[in-house]
């Protein structure tokens, strides 16, 4: 009797195009919070009041400071490749007059990504941060709401960030690619 090969389950990974066809077909509701990471649809938790405050506050601070030096995008998708389209809380993008009207921003367009983490800290640090490093996003800030601190990750090399630090709450910080976008942390953690 011939040997039977053991079953090995295979994941079916989606492309961004398939993901959008699913949305167009009505599989997702308009208010569903999902993102596509490495071909998998990830359900995101509802946005809490503190999370919303920090996203709105940082967005406002960035808009005031960058002027026409960058486009500030809040909770919108970025396309990393054909299988990943996360929705960071804030993205500072290379300035374009059309505000990326006909295309999603990609890795070369991104100056800074910000993730505001309350219930998502582990996911943001263990899944999204390495994903961003592999796609050479130059800088990522994670706002850790539980510990009221900012964690800064810079200089991706070989799929990891080689510069990491957490500034004091009384410091002012700016992304390395856009010094105009400085944020006084006293104005953030109030």
pLDDT for 50-96, tens place per residue? 999 999 999 999 999 998 899 999 999 999 999 999 999 999 999 99
Average pLDDT over residues 83-110: 96
What is the DSSP annotation of 53-94?
HHHHHHHHHHHHHHTTSEEEEES-----BTTBB---SEEEEE
Average pLDDT over residues 173-179: 91
pLDDT higher than 90, residue 2: no
Q: How far is CA 13 from the centre of its chain?
A: 20
CA distance 1 to 6: 15
What are the structural domain ranges in the chain? 46-188
Q: How confident is the model at residue 175 (pLDDT cuts 50, 70, 90)?
A: very high
pLDDT at 189: 78
Q: Does domain 46-188 fall into CATH 3.90.1570.10?
A: yes
Please give the biggest Cα pair distance in the chain: 74
Residue appearing with tokens 């959008």: 20
CB 90 within 8 A of CB 56: no
Q: How confident is the model at residue 156 (pLDDT cuts 50, 70, 90)?
A: very high
Q: How far is CA 53 from the centre of its chain?
A: 17
Q: For the chain, what is the mean pLDDT?
A: 92
Q: How confident is the model at residue 30 (pLDDT cuts 50, 70, 90)?
A: confident
Neighbours of 27 (CB within 10 A): 12
């Amino acid at each position: 009797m011939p040997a039977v090969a053991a079953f090995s389950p295979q994941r079916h990974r989606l492309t961004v195009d398939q993901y959008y066809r699913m949305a167009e077909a009505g599989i997702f509701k308009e208010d569903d919070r999902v993102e596509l990471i490495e071909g998998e649809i990830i359900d995101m938790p509802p946005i809490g009041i503190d999370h919303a405050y920090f996203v709105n506050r940082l967005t406002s601070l960035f808009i005031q400071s960058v002027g026409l030096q960058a486009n500030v995008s809040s909770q919108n998708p970025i396309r990393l490749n054909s299988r990943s389209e996360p929705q960071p809380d804030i993205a500072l993008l290379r300035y374009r007059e059309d505000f990326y009207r006909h295309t999603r921003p990609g890795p070369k367009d991104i100056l800074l990504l910000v993730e505001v983490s309350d219930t998502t800290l582990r996911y943001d640090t263990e899944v999204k941060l390495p994903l961003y490093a592999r796609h050479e996003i130059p800088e990522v800030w994670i706002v850790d709401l539980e510990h009221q601190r900012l964690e800064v990750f810079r200089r991706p090399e070989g799929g990891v960030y080689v510069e990491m630090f957490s500034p004091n709450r009384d410091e002012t910080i700016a992304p390395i690619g856009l010094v105009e976008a400085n944020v006084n942390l006293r104005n953030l953690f109030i």
